[in-house]
Structure 1
């Protein structure tokens, strides 16, 4: 059974969400106080965390960053009534994989939970070696990015970069990690090269508006794609 750590300080909403998730065969541990979250996290060992941002004593962003330090690959969804783009970026910087604005439907929350669980376990790679990216098909072993009948040949570094982003879709990838994997160091010159390659990939993928390659300032990149 999938274990969800659900952190929410609104008792009425929390009760509804918890019972709704449990009725769909999720095991749910609800916490209402930010100070109690990390202790519960370590004891409960959840498969995914759903964190409200506004909490007493310790906010959801701080908790997300602490959880990410302990479990880098654990999916985290933030819940918030805030609507500003800066708040969304702050959520990703804190280690979040997804962000749902209140009020939300249970159907939306459950779809997003299932999607992140699928992505975290499989990374979306199919057996024939191709990676579906929305309307595109990425074939790293052939250095190709296909859209319908069109095939774009990629350079080695374009392929390596897109592969890293694809394998970590809906997770934030650290900029330094990319530089070390592809260039072997994080010098200023290579860092500027990475900027150029990111711009190229955005251009290559522009035909599908469901794909979003977001720069998280001071952190790295967050590549959002739909589930294949």
Structure 2
């Protein structure tokens, strides 16, 4: 089983280092970002089980970073870290979709307990009702096989729909052709792997062409990823 991954976005190097050491000791995989812009880049490029996010950051504030994450439909658990203890600041973060709020200085045991609690309640991708998955303005209803961009319904073939469902269930993860073949076409498929590229093109033309933001991206030399680039 892989280690749960945690992104620590914290500009105070001593605090970030302590968090890194404590979290790694507890068995987590940790990456640090020392400002909001680097934090946003890490968020966009990788998939995280939880994010520890300082409120006051250079480049982009933690609140702005959280706002961009949630506006794209991402539901990665976020625990805000702040030197502020005012009720107004906590309410703002929680209203934007933070899962929890910890005020500095904090006891590491309390933070670890809050991390465990947040990871237990993790849901991905976001489901507003049974069978409905959302990314930006894209809605996929697995039960009814309906797909919408905003208010416009997108008509997909059965194979295109299966491909999109696999993408949205693994949003922000880069998927290679072999993974897509195995999960969408089946392990017993022995045809040309170029079929993946063909169907990705079909899917992109239907669900991305003419819409903003574009959600289905090519990662050269690796595969494809469904994500909100904002």
Q: What's the TM-score once normalised by structure 1's chain length?
A: 0.55
CA displacement at 1:159 relative to structure 2: 1.1
**Structure 1 residue aligned with 2:16:** 30
Answer yes or no: is the 8 Å Cα contact 1:135–1:208 preserved in 2: no
CA displacement at 1:161 relative to structure 2: 0.7
**Structure 2 residue aligned with 1:103:** 59
Query: SS of the counterpart of 1:117?
Result: coil
CA displacement at 1:41 relative to structure 2: 4.3
Instruction: Indicate whether 1:14 and 2:24 are aligned.
Output: no
CA displacement at 1:166 relative to structure 2: 0.8
Seen in structure 2, the aligned counterparts of structure 1 residues 111 and 171 have a Cα distance that, compared at 3 Å, is farther
CA displacement at 1:178 relative to structure 2: 1.5
- Number of residue pairs aligned between Structure 1 and Structure 2: 170
Correspondences of 1:174-189 after superposition (within 5 Å):
174-185=176-187, 189=191
**Structure 1 residue aligned with 2:38:** 79
Query: SS of the counterpart of 1:127?
Result: coil
CA displacement at 1:186 relative to structure 2: 9.0
More helix by share: 1
**Structure 1 residue aligned with 2:76:** 117
Query: SS of the counterpart of 2:193?
Result: helix
Query: Which sections of structure 2, spanning at least 5 residues, go unmatched?
Result: 49-57, 79-121
| CA displacement, residues 79-127 of structure 1 (integer Å, 9 cap, x when unaligned) | 289xxxxxx79x84xxx249xxx72223233446774525962311232
Answer yes or no: is the 8 Å Cα contact 1:176–1:186 preserved in 2: no
CA distance, structure 2, for counterparts of residue 190 and residue 154 of structure 1: 22
Answer yes or no: is the 8 Å Cα contact 1:131–1:166 preserved in 2: yes
Seen in structure 2, the aligned counterparts of structure 1 residues 154 and 143 have a Cα distance that, compared at 3 Å, is farther
**Structure 1 residue aligned with 2:113:** none
| CA displacement, residues 132-176 of structure 1 (integer Å, 9 cap, x when unaligned) | 343333223333323466433322211111001111222323432
Seen in structure 2, the aligned counterparts of structure 1 residues 30 and 130 have a Cα distance that, compared at 3 Å, is same
Answer yes or no: is the 8 Å Cα contact 1:169–1:223 preserved in 2: yes
CA distance, structure 2, for counterparts of residue 143 and residue 80 of structure 1: 35
Query: SS of the counterpart of 2:76?
Result: helix
Query: SS of the counterpart of 1:30?
Result: helix
Instruction: Indicate whether 1:212 and 2:194 are aligned.
Output: no
Query: SS of the counterpart of 1:122?
Result: coil
CA distance, structure 1, for counterparts of residue 216 and residue 195 of structure 2: 17
CA distance, structure 1, for counterparts of residue 229 and residue 39 of structure 2: 22
CA distance, structure 1, for counterparts of residue 69 and residue 17 of structure 2: 18
CA distance, structure 1, for counterparts of residue 127 and residue 192 of structure 2: 28
**Structure 1 residue aligned with 2:168:** 166
Q: What's the TM-score once normalised by structure 2's chain length?
A: 0.55
